Amino acid sequence: MTDIPARLAHARQEIAAAARRAGREPDSVRLVAVSKTHPAEAVEGAAAAGQRIFGENRVQEAREKIPACPPGLEWHLLGHLQKNKVRQALSLFSFFHSIDSQALAGAIDRIAGETGQKVDGLLEVNVSGEETKHGFTPAQVREAFPALAALPHLRIRGLMTMAPYSENPEAARPVFRALRGLRDELQSAHGAALPELSMGMSGDFEPAIEEGATLVRLGSSIFGQRPQVQANAE
């Protein structure tokens, strides 16, 4: 874990370079350090190097890990959330990347209302149409957006997607470009403010930033390889 600060510094340099290539300010892109399956000690090492936003995939793992981590960190939920775990998730996370259905959005809004919270989240869009991925189709987002934007306790802040795995990062670019186009369309059609695009992981974050990502989700780039691979986050 001693190499985490060096990995983090390198990732920040690459993020800044990608932002500049796109004519953007480096601080327009935030790094979410994906700590799933890594221990609290790894989070502590990254936090000591200045990282403040961390992402987890599973409520159960986060429930055990977060209390053992330094205070004052910002925790994002990246993985699929079951409706029966919403209440627990709201006690752990401040930002939800993977709102993948109207039913889930409604559950988050209802329980946030009961607990007196205002919650920020992103709509997960399955741009590539892969059957193995969760998320709205683009057509479903267009249809559901007016109702979702009107929820009183859940603030839709933007969109999230994952590109199909490829050893060639450029293969992901059309997916990222399509998500940005959908976001722009929704903003124009509904007058909505959707500033966030969560897209790009360790293998493809550079084209994601060039296509407008504001949140990139990096795990192995910072923490090294995981003991097991889980879908739907990094």
Quickly tell me which residue has 């960190």 as its tokens.
73
Q: Which domains does the chain have, with CATH numbers?
A: 4-223 (3.20.20.10)
Residue 228 pLDDT: 53
pLDDT tens digit at each of 234 positions of the chain: 669 999 999 999 999 999 999 999 999 999 999 999 999 999 999 999 999 999 999 999 999 999 999 999 999 999 999 999 999 999 999 999 999 999 999 999 999 999 999 999 999 999 998 888 899 999 999 999 999 999 999 999 999 999 998 999 999 999 999 999 999 999 999 999 999 999 999 999 999 999 999 999 999 999 998 765 444 444
Residue 148 pLDDT: 98
Residue 233 pLDDT: 47
What pTM value is reported for the model? 0.93
Residue 229 pLDDT: 46
Tens digit of pLDDT for each residue in 70-113?
A: 999 999 999 999 999 999 999 999 999 999 999 999 999 999 99
